[in-house]
Structure 1
Amino acid sequence: MGRLARAGLYAGALIGPFGGAVTTSILPEIGADFGRSPGSAAATLTYYLVPFAVLMLASGTLAQRWGPQRTVRIAYLAYAVTSVLAACSWTFEVLLASRALQGAANSFTTPVLLAVIAASTPKEKLGRALGLFGSMQAAGQTSAPLVGGLTAEIDWRLAFVVIAVVAVGLAILGVPQTDAEPERNASLRSAFVPSTLWPALVGFIGWGCLGGLSFLVAFRLDDVFGLSAGQRGVLLTGFGVVGFLTARYVGKAIDRFGAATTGILGATLGAAMVAGVGTAPLAAMVVLCWALTGAAAQGVLVSINALVLQSENANRGGSVSVVQSLRFMGAATAPLAFVPLYQSHPLPAFLVPAGLLLTIPAIITWSRRAGGTRRTPPPEAPPRPA
Structure 2
Amino acid sequence: MSKNTTNGNANHPRSIRLRLQLIALYAGGFLGPFGGGVVVSTLPEIGDDLGVGPSAAASSLTAYLLPFAALMLVSGTLGSRWGKVRTVRIAYGVYVIASVACFLAPTLEIFLAARVLQGSANAFTTPLLLASLAAATPQARLGRALGAFGAFQAAGQSSAPLIGGLAAEFDWRLAFLIIAVVAGLLGAIGLPTADKATATTPARLRDALRPEVLRIGIAALLGWGALGGLSFLIAFRFEDEFALTPTVRGLLLTLFGLAGILCARPIGILIDRIGARSSVLIGAIGGSILVTIVGLATVIPAIAIAWFVAGIASQFVLVGVNAAVLGSQGPNRGGAVSVVQAMRFGGAALAPIALTPVYDVSPVASFLIPAALLALVTPLVMPKPRSKAK
User: Would the TM-score normalized by the shorter structure come out above 0.5?
Assistant: yes
Structure 2 CA distance, aligned partners of 1:353 and 1:34? Answer: 38
Structure 1 CA distance, aligned partners of 2:103 and 2:198? Answer: 35
Q: List alignment gaps of at least 5 residues for structure 1.
A: 378-386
Q: List alignment gaps of at least 5 residues for structure 2.
A: 1-16
Structure 2 CA distance, aligned partners of 1:20 and 1:111? Answer: 16
Structure 1 CA distance, aligned partners of 2:258 and 2:346? Answer: 23
Identity fraction in percent: 52
The answer to whether the aligner puts 1:224 opposite 2:241 as a matched pair is yes
Name the residue aligned to 1:254: 271
The answer to whether the aligner puts 1:340 opposite 2:357 as a matched pair is yes
Q: Is the 1:64–1:182 contact (alpha carbons within 8 Å) kept by the matching residues of 2?
A: no
Structure 1 CA distance, aligned partners of 2:246 and 2:388? Answer: 45
Q: Is the 2:28–2:126 contact (alpha carbons within 8 Å) kept by the matching residues of 1?
A: yes
Structure 2 CA distance, aligned partners of 1:254 and 1:182? Answer: 34
Q: 1:229 to 1:328 in 2, by over 3 A?
A: same
The answer to whether the aligner puts 1:244 opposite 2:256 as a matched pair is no
Return the letter of the residue paired with 2:19: R
Return the letter of the residue paired with 1:212: G
Query: Deviation per CA, 1:48-67, whole angstroms, max 9, x where unpaired?
Result: 00000000010000110111
User: RMSD between aligned alpha carbons?
Assistant: 1.5
Name the residue aligned to 2:144: 128
The correspondence for 1:103, drawn from 107, 119, 127, is 119
Name the residue aligned to 2:386: 374
Structure 2 CA distance, aligned partners of 1:376 and 1:7? Answer: 33
Structure 1 CA distance, aligned partners of 2:194 and 2:135? Answer: 6
Q: Is the 2:85–2:195 contact (alpha carbons within 8 Å) kept by the matching residues of 1?
A: no
The correspondence for 1:320, drawn from 316, 322, 337, is 337
Name the residue aligned to 1:295: 312
Q: 1:220 to 1:76 in 2, by over 3 A?
A: same
Structure 1 CA distance, aligned partners of 2:93 and 2:246? Answer: 35
The answer to whether the aligner puts 1:38 opposite 2:50 as a matched pair is no
Q: Is the 2:267–2:316 contact (alpha carbons within 8 Å) kept by the matching residues of 1?
A: yes
Q: Is the 2:102–2:173 contact (alpha carbons within 8 Å) kept by the matching residues of 1?
A: yes
How much has 1:374 moved relative to structure 2? 3.3
Structure 1 CA distance, aligned partners of 2:257 and 2:48? Answer: 28
The correspondence for 1:65, drawn from 73, 81, 96, is 81
Structure 1 CA distance, aligned partners of 2:123 and 2:225? Answer: 19
Would you identify which runs of 4 or more consecutive aligned residues in structure 1 move more than 3 Å?
A: 178-184, 373-377
Q: 1:143 to 1:345 in 2, by over 3 A?
A: same
Structure 2 CA distance, aligned partners of 1:236 and 1:177? Answer: 37
Q: 1:118 to 1:262 in 2, by over 3 A?
A: same
The answer to whether the aligner puts 1:359 opposite 2:376 as a matched pair is yes
How much has 1:235 moved relative to structure 2? 1.1
Structure 2 CA distance, aligned partners of 1:157 and 1:240? Answer: 25
Relative to structure 2, which stretch is displaced further, 174-183 or 236-245?
A: 174-183
The correspondence for 2:103, drawn from 87, 91, 110, is 87
Matches within 5 A, 1:129-208: 129-177=145-193, 183=199, 185-208=202-225
Structure 2 CA distance, aligned partners of 1:312 and 1:108? Answer: 22
Structure 2 CA distance, aligned partners of 1:217 and 1:374? Answer: 39
The answer to whether the aligner puts 1:10 opposite 2:64 as a matched pair is no
SS at match of 1:237: helix
SS at match of 1:358: helix
Return the letter of the residue paired with 1:105: A
Return the letter of the residue paired with 2:339: V
Q: Normalised by the size of structure 1, how large is the TM-score?
A: 0.94
How much has 1:217 moved relative to structure 2? 0.8
Name the residue aligned to 1:329: 346
How much has 1:181 moved relative to structure 2? 7.1
Structure 2 CA distance, aligned partners of 1:376 and 1:21? Answer: 42
Return the letter of the residue paired with 2:40: T
Q: 1:338 to 1:345 in 2, by over 3 A?
A: same
Query: Deviation per CA, 1:146-193, whole angstroms, max 9, x where unpaired?
Result: 000000011111111111010001011111025787546111111110
Structure 2 CA distance, aligned partners of 1:50 and 1:157? Answer: 22
The answer to whether the aligner puts 1:119 opposite 2:135 as a matched pair is yes
